[in-house]
Amino acid sequence: MCGHDHQTTVVAVSDSSFASLTTLRVGGAPRALIRCTSAEELAATVARLDAEGTPLLVVGGGSNLVVADGQLDLTAVLARNEGIEPVEELVDATILRIGAGTVWDDVVAFAVERDLGGIEALSGIPGSAGATPVQNVGAYGAEISEVLTRVRLWNRETNTDEWVPAESLELAYRYSNLKFTHRAVVLELELRLEKAELSRPLRHLGGQRLPLAEARAEILATRRAKGMVLDAADHDTWSAGSFFTNPVVDTAVADTIEAQVGEAGMPRFAQPDGREKLSAAWLIERAGFPRGYPGEGAPARLSTKHTLALTNRGSAAAADIVELAREVRGGVEKRFGVRLVPEPVWVGVEV
Ligand SMILES: Cc1cc2nc3c(=O)[nH]c(=O)nc-3n(C[C@H](O)[C@H](O)[C@H](O)COP(=O)(O)OP(=O)(O)OC[C@H]3O[C@@H](n4cnc5c(N)ncnc54)[C@H](O)[C@@H]3O)c2cc1C
């Protein structure tokens, strides 16, 4: 059981702040930090804090979090239950069960090494496996929803430990009904991965399929070039990844923007509901925010490799990130009438 009274699992708060728990490296101190190394500890800790009425935040890799500066009235519960286990062999697929605290990219490496396909395009996404359903992580045309079969949740509303089917999470583009609601904690998850030698068609390579290990290497290289693989030495990766989701608009709005910019080839992707998804990065650039904005010396800047990432150049506080986010969002709205929606989870601050 992990709790305040268990010395090995409670870390002194003076050692830790959200600046050291998040990839954006901003944010103040939680009241306490509790590290849970099994699914049962994670569930029991959340249950106990909820019963006490103690505000809490479950933290995985901290790669999709923007947390306010200063003292925070919450306890950080670190999901650190690790493990990857094949639990069922089917004719054409293997079911893997994964602890929420497992590093996500270790799961991808494990699968690729065993010729299990379906997640190779999600190589290099930072953070924990348990957070992947939270915003239905995706990249290069793939999403976790395609392989996620079921999730073991600690349901904070009913105080129950239950396996639920993936469909019950209402997974959609960078969304599930877990995101922003904190209604449940992911304890474990199961993925159905195909026995395959070739990757799924890779969208950015015109639908080409590569041997799994090559596909993984290719994705990692592509992501690195954009600052989308964590590297402590590269401030372009001190971020929360893509800072805004790609907006989905009516065709008439897309036509107006394309005509307004007067450039051929605006990225626009038809959606099942008849609307179109635009590229937030493209809109940001066309609204007058180039890579590296506002320039050398600023504590918070757009990545010098990708306009969609807001980055900490080493001395930024949450307030600097928020200010830059407001400026970029305001600029895009003023120019195109489109209000960008931040992708990360915000704690104690808002754009
Ligand atoms: C450089 C970089 C590149 C990125 N690229 C991508 C990308 O290509 N595609 C993409 O989709 N995302 C991307 N992201 C965003 C991020 O990596 C993912 O959202 C990731 O899944 C977050 O995992 P985490 O463990 O770090 O979550 P955290 O940041 O720790 O938490 C995020 C949210 O999930 C909740 N949460 C965490 N663990 C659990 C749990 N076990 N149960 C319930 N709730 C939980 C937290 O409370 C919080 O609300 C990128 C981020 C960075 C920094």
Can you tell me the distance from the alpha carbon of 40 to that of 42, in angstroms, rounded to the nearest whole number?
5
Residue 73 and residue 49 in contact, taking contact as beta carbons nearer than 8 Å: no
Nearest-atom number in ligand 1 for the CA of 227 is: 1
Mean local confidence (pLDDT), 10-39: 86
Active-site annotation holds for 343:
yes
Mean local confidence (pLDDT), 70-98: 98
Quick: pLDDT tens for 251-295.
999 999 999 999 989 999 999 999 999 999 999 999 999 999 999
Nearest-atom number in ligand 1 for the CA of 174 is: 11
Local confidence band at 11 (pLDDT 50, 70, 90 cut-offs): very low
Residue 164 and residue 151 in contact, taking contact as beta carbons nearer than 8 Å: yes
Ligand 1 pocket by Cβ (under 6 Å): 23, 57-65, 79, 100, 125-128, 130-132, 134-135, 137-139, 178, 185-186, 228, 230, 237, 239-241, 345
Active-site annotation holds for 174:
yes
Residue 328 and residue 302 in contact, taking contact as beta carbons nearer than 8 Å: yes
The residue assigned the tokens 């807001």 is: 310
pLDDT at position 9 over 50 = no
In the numeric block, which tokens belong to residue 201?
A: 């068609």
Can you tell me the distance from the alpha carbon of 70 to that of 76, in angstroms, rounded to the nearest whole number?
14
Nearest-atom number in ligand 1 for the CA of 64 is: 29
Quick: pLDDT tens for 134-181.
999 999 989 999 999 999 999 999 999 999 999 999 999 999 999 999
Instruction: Specify the pLDDT at position 2.
Output: 41
> What residue ranges define each of the domains in the chain, with the CATH number in brackets?
10-79 (3.30.43.10), 84-225 (3.30.465.10), 235-347 (3.90.78.10)
Which is nearest to 12 in space by CA: 32, 35, 37? 32
Give the contacts of 232 (CB within 8 A, at least 6 positions apart).
Answer: none
pLDDT at position 227 over 80 = yes
Give the contacts of 257 (CB within 8 A, at least 6 positions apart).
Answer: 249, 266, 278, 283, 336, 338
Which is nearest to 226 in space by CA: 211, 208, 216, 239? 239
In the numeric block, which tokens belong to residue 244?
A: 């805004």
Cα 78 to middle of ligand 1, angstroms: 13
SS3 for 105?
A: helix
Burial of 56 from C-beta contacts in 10 A (0-12 / 13-18 / 19+): buried
Can you tell me the distance from the alpha carbon of 188 to that of 130, in angstroms, rounded to the nearest whole number?
7
Quick: pLDDT tens for 97-126.
999 999 999 999 999 999 999 999 999 999
Strands (E), the chain: 10-11, 32-36, 56-59, 65-67, 75-79, 84-89, 93-99, 116-117, 138-139, 142-143, 148-155, 160-165, 184-195, 248-249, 268-270, 276-278, 300-302, 310-312, 345-347
Give, to the nearest 10 degrees, the angle between helix 104-113 and helix 212-225.
150
- 174, 200, 216, 286: which is the annotated catalytic residue? 174
**Residue percentage of the chain with pLDDT more than 70:** 96
Quick: pLDDT tens for 48-70.
999 999 999 999 999 999 999 99
Can you tell me the distance from the alpha carbon of 322 to that of 302, in angstroms, rounded to the nearest whole number?
12
DSSP letters, 163-212, are EEEGGGG--BTTB-TTTTT--EEEEEEEEEEEE-SBPPPBGGGTTB--BH
pLDDT at position 14 over 90 = no
**Residue percentage of the chain with pLDDT more than 90:** 94
pLDDT at position 4 over 70 = no
Quick: pLDDT tens for 298-318.
999 999 999 999 999 999 999
Dihedral class, residue 306 (left if φ above 0, else alpha if ψ from -120 to 50, else beta): beta
C-alpha Rg value of the chain to the nearest Å: 20
Q: What is the mean pLDDT of the chain?
A: 94
Instruction: Specify the pLDDT at position 15.
Output: 56
